[in-house]
Structure 1
Amino acid sequence: MAGSKFVYVTFIRTTPEELWSAIVNPDFMRKYWFNIHFDTDWKLGSSWKMMFPDGRVADTGEIVEIEPAKRLVLKWRNEFRPELKAEGYSQCVFQIEPVGNATKLSITHTIDVENAKFIDAVSGGWPRILSNLKSLLETGEVMEI
């Protein structure tokens, strides 16, 4: 496949159900996603918007696949940076798997654009967001990075 891809895998000392709740609960999401949250009903085929604290739309898309506590696939487009929006829609896959007393979270973000600026952008954001998520679930505090 031509295009660009970013993959991030982490293991979090939590259950798949608690991790799922952290991903889809907008109030919890604000804690680890720098006060940003998703606005959606989390149903197959539904649209979603990622909202900045001031009400501006950061990103938009559609829920392509949803299997609570196991898998979430989102069609995803940046809305606030013209050069990223111009690259079109990407796909983001959240894969959740129990592993011993932890849960493995794999994020795979792809776009059908070679050397995509969008993938460069998310490759800087995902590690910070997911490190905060892991820290919050395991210790009750974010890292504030």
Structure 2
Amino acid sequence: MHHDKHEHEHEHAAVQAESVFVYVTFIGTTPDDLWTALTSRAYTERYWFGMHHECDWQAGSPWSLRFADGRIADSGAIQQADAPRALVIRWRNMFRPELHAEGDSLCTIEIEPVEQAVKLTVTHKLPQPHSLFIEAVAGGWPRILSNLKTLLETGEPLMPLVAGE
């Protein structure tokens, strides 16, 4: 009996050892248009507060997220690219030392048609408890994805401000 209890404690510890942020939204668009919005610079700059990705969106390729002035905010690599269904990015913060120190996170973006809309699920994980990076993206992702949803549905972003202004 004691052995079982110990195993259960170990499993519980494993669950606690990662930080996870999940955001789900439904957007009045198509999977292809959502994929384009997620991967094209012309779209990204409009809802990501002037920031853009540098990437060719192929599995194994390097990826970076850059400020309007070209400085690298985050970088990593594409682990999976299955247009227009799923994108997995190995993602590390590059401009805040305390976030950079936490190492790589994994961002999974899933796109699924649901009735007349598209379900977008963004899951961002980092393999340590109480991650400052996950806390930061938990504040950033809802703003970015709300902006994206509004842009796709109306043609204008919700909050057009540029990061750093």
TM-score (norm 1): 0.98
Partner of 2:70: 55
**Where in structure 1 do 4 or more consecutive aligned residues deviate above 2 Å?**
none
Q: Does 2:134 match 1:119?
A: yes
Partner of 1:69: 84
- Segments of structure 1 that go 5 or more residues without pairing to the other structure are none
Q: Does 2:111 match 1:88?
A: no
| Secondary structure in structure 2 of the residue aligned to 1:18 | helix
Following superposition, the deviation at residue 124 of structure 1 comes to: 0.2
Partner of 1:6: 21
What do residues 64-120 of structure 1 show as CA deviations (whole Å, max 9, x unaligned)? 001001000000000000000000000000000000000000000000011000000
Identity score, percent: 53
Matched residue type, 1:55: G
| CA RMSD between the two structures | 0.8
2-structure distance, mates of 1:83, 1:139: 38
Partner of 2:58: 43
Partner of 2:49: 34
Number of equivalenced pairs: 145
Q: Does 2:31 match 1:16?
A: yes
| Secondary structure in structure 1 of the residue aligned to 2:158 | coil
TM-score (norm 2): 0.86
- Segments of structure 2 that go 5 or more residues without pairing to the other structure are 1-14, 161-165
Determine which structure has the larger strand proportion and give its number: 1
Q: Does 2:128 match 1:108?
A: no
Matched residue type, 2:114: V
Determine which structure has the larger helix proportion and give its number: 2
2-structure distance, mates of 1:130, 1:72: 15
